[in-house]
Each structure stands twice: as structure tokens, then as C-alpha cells.
């Protein structure tokens, strides 16, 4: 009985973890499914480069970007943003030697066909503010 309860606890914890890009530490846009990955590079198990396109229901791009910012900040990322509107929003994360840019767009004709583009690059051209310094 204890063994079964332990297995269920582990399974529930895994299911409740926020989704990430390709089992990395980079948050996926909530509610969207990945449809394309381009130029993926990994180093020591970390995603270092790539462009990731996701599609799905986007009713409020800014709210979805805020959810990403919360998950990222809790996982040690420095966050800048989000900024934008319910139709188009953007967000930047930095950690280690990586810059991650999110662009989330609602499809005004068909909300189920919203899109997110996530770009991961090496190095930071503009450092993001840490969550504790953002007002």
C-alpha cells in the first residue's frame, strides 16, 4: 500500500510540474502545443539555441506571458516584461549565458489558432532585471 501511494505521489508531482521546452528549464507557453523546433543546440543537458513555434488557444497573450514570467522567476530566471496587450505580448528571460525571447500572439479570427515563438540564444545583449528589482 505504501509503495502504491508513493508511486501515485511521484506521478502527481510530475503531472503538476509546469511544461517546459524539450524537457529543459525553459517554460513552455501554458496551453499551447509545440509544432516546430528549428536549430536546436544543447550543451550539458541545457537548451542553448533554437526557435520553437507553438500553437493553441490564446485568449489573452499578456496573461499567458505573465504566467510564463512567474514560472521562470520561480526557476531562477531573470525576467524582463511582459509587455504588450491581450493580442500581442513579449517577454525576455536570462539565465547563465542564455537569452530567451517569447512572442505570444492571439489570432483574432480563430482564438484556437494563437501562436507563440520562443527564441533561445547564447549570451545576453540586454540583461533582464531580476524579479526582485522589477517594480
Mean pLDDT of 1-7: 50
- Quickly state the pLDDT bin for 50 (edges 50, 70, 90): very high
Residue 109: what pLDDT? 86
Note the pLDDT tens digit of each residue in 62-93: 999 999 999 999 999 999 999 999 999 999 99
Residue 122 has pLDDT above 90, yes or no: yes
Beta bridge partners of 35: none
Does residue 130 register a pLDDT over 90?
A: no
Instruction: Give the span between the Cα atoms of 124 and 66, in whole angstroms.
Output: 21
pTM (predicted TM-score): 0.78
User: Which value, in Å, is the radius of gyration of the alpha carbons in the chain?
Assistant: 16
Amino acid at each position: 500500500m505504501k509503495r502504491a501511494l508513493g508511486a501515485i505521489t511521484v506521478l502527481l508531482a510530475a503531472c503538476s510540474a509546469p511544461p517546459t521546452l524539450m524537457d529543459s528549464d525553459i517554460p513552455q507557453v501554458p496551453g499551447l502545443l509545440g509544432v516546430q523546433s528549428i536549430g536546436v543546440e544543447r550543451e550539458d543537458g541545457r537548451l542553448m539555441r533554437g526557435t520553437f513555434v507553438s500553437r493553441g488557444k490564446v485568449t489573452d497573450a499578456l496573461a499567458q506571458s505573465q504566467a510564463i514570467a512567474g514560472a521562470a522567476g520561480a526557476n531562477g530566471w531573470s525576467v524582463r516584461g511582459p509587455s504588450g496587450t491581450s493580442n500581442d505580448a513579449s517577454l525576455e528571460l536570462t539565465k547563465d549565458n542564455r537569452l530567451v525571447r517569447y512572442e505570444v500572439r492571439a489570432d483574432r479570427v480563430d482564438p484556437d489558432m494563437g501562436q507563440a515563438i520562443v527564441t533561445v540564444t547564447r549570451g545576453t545583449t540586454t540583461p533582464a532585471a531580476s524579479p526582485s528589482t522589477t517594480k
